[in-house]
Structures are given as structure tokens and as C-alpha cells.
Amino acid sequence: MPRFQFDVPNVCAGALMDELNADGIQPQHLESRDNVVWITVPAMLEPQVSSIVSAHDGPAAHAEIAWQAVRVTRNAKLAECDWTDLPNSPVENGPEWATYRQALRDVPQDFGSADAVTWPTKPA
């Protein structure tokens, strides 16, 4: 079976596999490394695979990748201050922490673009 190479971000590989499977395409092999994805499928399926891959390589796909990175950062920031939300937490400025944590949770809906995100300041 031929192996086709596509230049798409590595993080698209899982979504690509899901979409290929949803379209009834069972790749013999899918590998990704250094923003290149290799898909092994019968030659007759290459045009269909190419159209699915190209859908993952446009501006919308790159924007989704950027938002995924924002969510990962946001979740890490929330995890760093989970202790402030415990009932027996020694934190003295609880309302400030609650406001900070809510601002973190609101980041995805408060910004129109992942590039425009400014992170709230952590309370002292």
C-alpha cells in the first residue's frame, strides 16, 4: 500500500484518524512527527484522504489548535490554585482567588482569538 505524506500539525493526527474512520477509511498505518503526517491507505483512496487532510490544514484548524493550547494553559493555571477552593484552605483573600479562578474559566468565551488572550493576574 502506498504511504502518503501531508504537512499538517502533529496535533491533528488523532482528529484525522477519527475523521478517516468516520468516513469508512481504515488506514493501515498513521504516523506523525515534526508536523508531517504519513497515512498508509490504498492508492484509490488517496484523493478522499487528501480532501479530509486539507480540511485540517486551513485557518480554522490552526485556530482550533491555538485554542487547545489556551485551554491547556488555562487548566494548568486552575490546577495550580485548586487548593484555594478547599473548605479548610488557609487563604485569607478567598474572594480574590474566586474572582481569579472565574476569570480563568471565562477566558475561552471572553476573547475572540487565541492570540488575543491576556491572562488574569494571580492574587498575591
Q: Specify the pTM.
A: 0.57
What confidence score (pLDDT) does residue 101 get?
95
What residues form DSSP beta bridges with 36? 33
Buried b (16+ CB within 10 A) or exposed e, 87-111: eeeeeeeeeebeebbeebeebeeee
End-to-end Cα distance, the chain: 60
Phi, psi for 36 (deg, rounded to 5): -130, 135
- More confidently predicted of 15 and 86: 86
* Domain ranges across the chain: 3-57, 60-116
What residues form DSSP beta bridges with 60? none
User: Predicted confidence band at 59 (pLDDT cuts at 50, 70, 90)?
Assistant: low
CB 99 within 8 A of CB 72: no
Would you state the cell numbers that stand for residue 77, as one nine-digit string? 493555571
What confidence score (pLDDT) does residue 82 get?
93
Tell me the pLDDT tens digit for each residue of 24-33.
Answer: 888 888 787 7
Buried b (16+ CB within 10 A) or exposed e, 30-55: eebeeeebebebeeebeeebeebbee
What average pLDDT does range 57-63 have in this prediction?
A: 66
Predicted confidence (pLDDT) at residue 9 exceeds the cutoff of 70? no
Residues 6 or more apart in contact with residue 103 via CB below 8 angstroms: 110, 120
